[in-house]
Structure 1
Amino acid sequence: MIGNSKTNKAVLNEQQRKAIEHIYGPLLIVAGAGTGKTRVIVERVGYLLKHVSDLQPENILALTFSRKAAAEMRERARKQFGERAWGCRFSTFHAFCYELLEKHSSQRALDTIDQWIFLRRHMEELELDYYLHVAEPGRFLNDLVEFCSRCHDNLVSPEDYSAYVEQLVADCQDPSRLKPLPKECAEEELAKQREVARVYARSEVLQEQEGLLNFGAMISRAVTLLDSSPDLLRQLQQRYQFILVDEFQDTNPAQFELLVRLAGERKNLAVVGDDDQAIYRFRGASYGSFKQFEKQFPQHRRIVLDENYRSTQKILAVAGAAIAFNLQDRYQPDKRLLTSHPPGGNKVEVREFADAVQQAEFTAAEIAHRVRSGEAKAYSDFAVLYRAHRYRDSLVVALRRQGIPFAIRKLAVDRLPPVRDLLAYLRAIGHPADNISLARVIADPRWGLEANLFSQYCRRASDQKKTLYEVVQEDSVAEERADAVNLLTFLSRFSKIAEQQRMSAWFDLLREELGFSGDPGEKPALQALSEFINQWDQEKSATGLLGEFLEYFGYFEEAGGAITLPEDDEKQSWMEAGPLDGAGETIPDPRQGVLWEETADGSLGKVQLMTVHGAKGLEFEHVIVFHLLRGAFPTRRRTPLIVLPTPLWKGPLPQGDFHVEEERRLFYVALTRARSTLTLCTVSSDRQRPSAFLEELRGCQCPDLEWKKSPVSTPEMAASPLRQNASQPRRRGSRIAEWAAAPQALLAGEPTLSASGLETYLECPLKYQYSHVWRIPLPPSPSMLFGSILHGAVKELVYELTHCPEDISRESIQALLDRHWNSSGFSDSLQERKYREKGVRQLEGVWRVWSGRRLELLHQEKSFLFDWAGTRLAGRVDQIHRGEGQRVELIEYKTGRPQTQKEADNSLQLTIYAKACRDVLGLEPAGLILFNLATQECLQTTRSPQDFQKVQQKIQQTAAHMRAGEFPAQAGYHCRYCDFQPICPAHEDFGLSTASPEG
């Protein structure tokens, strides 16, 4: 039954009432943050059902962007208006289009991760050339998937893109239309564009042949279907006589065209949105939707909701000042929100700290003080928002110190130790030669193997060029070790099961036998892993066997996938899969929350920790925006390898900086989540500076903003008990992190260092421990294998150049490479073929560079061992020769990424080699040459006494840290390429347990 309209009118403001009571024709509702837009949509549904004669519930369609938002509208409508609202359709755009397409085809849906995996498996068929990164074949695919989505968002078909490229070709053939660029640049750009057009078309054909429909294409395919099926379109227009759209600012051109078609001649289309909260530019959304609406429906009615029911006027004033810097790239630049709150309230605080640790400790202490003093009612009134999950680690430690319960939204379960343990067991069962996974398994206390024995195993495996599994196997026989026998028997038994049975049939048995089933805190995470495996088995697998799963999961991780818990224990579907933003972070569906809870007294609730994207649509009494630093918020701009050319974008484009403006809108969203108090945290030091957004606010001298330098410490900080530290031993499960955190006494005597070892330690001491102290054996990566092959081939080629240059030809170079080639170790035939082509090109480059010079070859791959400042150094110089004018030159060949002149000038390796050349070989190199084989560029450099002194100090300091057993993990961008991630404590979330998710 429809609710009492008089009662409803009494609590609605005038603009809300106008929006609800508008019936016929297009309606554009510009609804600022906290102005009650969802309520307006729900009330409008009830009003239409009551006041439009013969209107049935199934004649109303409400569309939004997440299942949770659609479910919220549905439940509110049913609760308020009873059975008449049950027939109304509340849906996401993608669910609506998928259901439409499903009725007319049998295509299976692909989320963005599975689309990446599909394309990775068909790399050779994509016929990549320019965009193929041979060391990481899948590196290009994130950008390709994103590019294809942008094409579909803008209704650009492969045929449209090919036509665009052909027009470029025609323009280049017309001299009057050419830009003033060198001819080679124009030709290279055309070749790249042709490749993009070919790959886009080929990827679409491959997916169509397999009966697959990717997430990005869902809307555009629905539009195409409606355009080609007039009868179907008329049926839908007759059924959905009134259409309502929430979060209209997030619509892209394809979604807008879908709405236009569905609205038809009736044009009963009501859209609600806020251009200042358009934060999904990477999904193709744009504030331009409002402009498009005005153009498409010139007779529309526009209503502005500007009465905010959430925040104080001071908070709104600061938020308004922040978003105003987007200047005219806003639909309504003069929009100003007014609060329904009484005057007064706290000023917005900017807290400036000396470093990130102080920021975290003060934040935790402040929350504790405000709750314990009664200033705030509960911990659950607080939300700490950050731009990316990696910024919350120091805060988690600080909250534990204070004994504050907290919940983390959208934390991946595959960062939790028990999940990582189980994944290690799966890999060890399926791939016994996987030394990293077996290392984690060996460290499980159930097998009774200790750290010193583990290190012995690793050294023997490394020395004897065997796998860790083979060494343990030998030890179990030779030493009659029952513990090693038990481990091998366990792995062997499950290996036989895994060869014959689908994973879904035996994975829970593995969990139970390993004891991963009884702990309530771990159960939800482990259940999520089980459900992930079951879903893969049922929907994505041909055999269901472990080998197939490990191949799939390897690609899944490479693509940036993560296993998370859906809210309210709902099974997460492809429709909630989050794409990547410009910072490389997975963006969750803004209304889908996953809670990870610290076990503590929950009587006062839990502090909510989440990304700003995750906070969209939520509100909290007290909001703290954390880590507002340059480079962190706004994030640094990342330019994708391929972008949709501007002429192909539909609708108006912003005139300013796309990236910064979207980040500023995201900042605005963060500020407008707060009801009563808002605190902005930053760091100001020699190395870190406050966010540009804060500096903008400082510059406009907003009277409602107060800057405070925070003290070094507080009584709460000093008195807070240390709760659980990340390095504290776990009760059970792998002890690999515990072993890694323990002081190391494994360095026998003085360490012998190499240039690469020093660079490894300086990058990450723990990586050095794993690779040089424990010496966990790793198979050579394809890039390392190629480097080894090419160094051997270059050595032979240079020797021939200096002894019998007349015998060298292109054919002999090919034969030379064949002699050194080793096919084992490459990922697939495509990678091997591309590396071989690359090898021929690089050898021909060496031939061209050296063939015109007279060289006296002095040494090739010359090994050395010497003492420098009390430290033993070892290495091997690629080449030393005497050139023109009797100059002695030292050459180092680089097969990987081309180095820069600055890198050559600062190369630790070249400095050590120059010192060895002088002290060990008695030669004074007049020049050091870093030869980039990829570009045939020889970078010349020298070393001064000051250069040697600086490196000597660095070696002494590093050796001292090693002797002291200091091998901490040092996380950074380099972790992306590190083989040791599965056993690195910096990539685990310790002390976090899961309980029933809360909304």
Structure 2
Amino acid sequence: MTSSKSQSQAWKPSKWGQIFTGSPEWRLQLEGEDFVLVLNGEDHRTPIRDDAVMRVQPGLFWADVALSPGSDHELKVDGLPNAQAVALQAALDSVLSEQRLRRDTDFVLKGYATIQDWLRQITGILQQAEIDRRWIPYETQSSLLAAWPALDGETLEARFQQAAVKDRLGKKGQNIETALRLWKCRWQPDWVQINEKHTLRELSACKVLLDSVESRPLTEEQARAVICFDNRVQVVASAGSGKTSIMVAKAAYAIHRGFMAPQNIVLMAFNKKAAEELKDRAIRSFERLGMDGNGVEATTFHALGLGIIGKATGKKPDVPAWATDTGASCEKILEIVDRLKDQSDEFRTRWDMFRMVFGRDLSPPGQPVEGDAWDRMGTALIKTLDGQRVRSQEEAIICNWLFYNGVHYEYERPYETDTADVTHRQYKPDFYYPDIQLYHEHFALDAEGKAPPQFKDYVEGVKWKRQLHHDMGTALIETTSHQVRNGGVFEHLAHELTSRGVKLDPNPNRPIPQGAIRPMEAMELAYLVRSFISHAKSNCLNSTDLRRRLDAMPEGSFKYRHRMFLDLFEPIIANWDRALAEDGGVDFEDMLNMAAEHVEQGRCQVPYDLVMADEFQDASRARARLCHAMVQKPGRHFFAVGDDWQSINRFAGADVSVMTDFERWFDHGQLLKLEQTFRCPQALCDVSSHFVTKNPTQIRKRVHSDTPAVGPVLQAFEVSKERELERAVGEFLASLYQGICAGHIPLGRHGNVSVFFLGRYRADKPEHLRRWKSQYGSKIELSFVTIHSSKGSEADYVILPSMISRLRGLSFPSTRTDDPVLQMAMPSGDNFPQGEERRLFYVALTRARRSVIMFTVKGERSTFLDELVADKAVTVTNLHGEKIEEQRCPACKRGVIVTRTGPFGEFQSCSNYPACEYKPSSKDYPKNRKKLSEILSHL
């Protein structure tokens, strides 16, 4: 082997090696990165590309050498002295090492070049954004991250960390190390820092605009919301936090900074009044900034949707008056129903049957039910159409079916044989049909004959009853919970009764006894259908979708009732849509979906680069879809302002999830909060926030206020009878008026004191309001609105004149829940008990700048007021300020224990008597009961 590195290295066998191994003459030479083997006068060149190109196998004295071992072209020679074999292996290893080093270095440099290209893109965008004073939006971030070099990071890092590679790279290694660190880092925090620096610069650079755009300077959190120009921004605004201000200010900022022209900005509101307010506020703000002539568009969702359809189709549709007003819509539905009744006896029967028999839903098997009354043990009792009080919802449905069909029956009539003994009370079968001497037991059994788990020994009782009838030879028919829930009970009952001579006489106009439950009125059912139409269309659900949703409902659902409703709904909505077509119009729900589809499919190009939506907590899915469609093109911005704590319009199609699950609806989203309120004092903020956030699905925020307190923020007064409420309210107003005249109570911002009467219902409007205005109008501005209508408004004092909870009728919180059939068409909402009513109460509390005054009635105190009392937020007093303590009835959980006077003297009972029959045990009665002899002496 030659020793000069400048010459080729060569190896050959020794003489003795040839003799003893029998190897022919050969010569192996290393030329660059090739081995050349000269054998039998021929040259064989083998490139060195991997460590398997050659095998050197030392023997006792001599080594054999194989080129391309194991291949079809393997060449093998022998007789190389072992010492030279070591040198040969070293030469091979040196070449391979150099190749690996070069390969690793090239791998690192290639990866570095790719990363550098990507980093140059980022640097260019960041530099341009700084020059233009622009926010780095999500779309830009995403596009850069999408272009992120998908390299083998572990391999790249491992090869770069080799000392030999670093030595070869020299000073360039420092740049590579920096690039690798930037490539591997999590970029989200960096974007946040970059945008935060941008925000701080803009807060300073645009201070004049931010301080002047509204009548008072924007707070920092308001200003940050204005400056944040991400593609999708959700602002969760506290009540009274100035959400309208930031919408107007954002439009002014965008125009001032040259981000977009005025005609490319739109402000969307839910009604015409709100849209006009946005427009007026924008005009005033632009004038204040010297930006006259830069007005932006402010419109309603409906007007915008109609305009889109007009542009896409060349013909702007009409929305018939009967499709907009709830009352008119229900009248239209009843017209459709009358026509369908005339055309189909089957439809007529279904409509009447649903109203009469299926007006109420069923609770899941075994769950506690809400009754119309309670016995003294707290067992719920349910009223029927014929005035019965029965012990289960299923029995009530059977009673109503029997009444509707004119079947004479007796409920829980004692069995004809005395059965009372040590272990059994007198047996009272559920139903008895005296005309045919037939007993009927309704058993709480499922399809497998099993009772709910909590019904201990129930099945044994069933067996006992069956055996008794068998032994006594009395006729018995049975129905089960399973039959009621799948609808089979009615066919079964009809067969059992008619086969025994009973004639069924269906009559929806049969007189209802006084005191009985009233059937579902036709208008009520029409309203339910109208609501269902609205929700189904808002959620883009057709009949197939609705049937699929029905099938997916939990097993405990009363699916038979839901199926009956769909059987009514489908022909009605078909005729509804036909009537719209005949009038050449659409309803609002169809209009929103049609507009969204035109934009989605590119049939109409909307010019807006900045779309802002007010009161977004009340958006339906159809509205959310339209908003999403309008900003689907890259480079557009959607800015939604709302407060999920004030989402109170689910009945009108609102889906609170568009706020609470904003990122899912709009693919991504920047969440900002306005937590400072300019309205309520801090104590009222604390009480109202604590109340509404007991619902864990509400977005958390910490509401704070600098508004000074003026007197107690919460007051609650209780009177003995409902008829005393107006007098109590009048006395409070008189006291307030006297305090103002005496100077003890300061005047409000408009030179008087404003008072809102807020009602859960329109019927809560005080009868004496006009007289009170006449009496106190010089100092007090009085007005009444419903809580639903009060959003966006405020007053110094808020009076809630009817904080009452009743078994039936007008209550706050309302005891009337959404009909379960709506679940097939409505968004899921949240499952927190009375979630929407709690948000409604929050709205009521947060209308006040000073104080909320609540009035209630003994024994009918609102459960919400009870909750505030339990939280020590307020104390209920009489008009003299004396604290009132009440003992809640343990049976109905609604009434309170009161003292009454009867023929035997004073006694205690529930204030809901006779609906609730609970009386405390005699040992708890007052000591001063009259003696029987005293009572008899006066008879």
- TM-score when normalising by structure 2: 0.48
Larger Rg: 2
Specify which structure has the higher proportion of helix.
1
| Structure with more contact order per residue of length (Cα contacts < 8 Å, sep ≥ 6) | 1
- TM-score when normalising by structure 1: 0.45
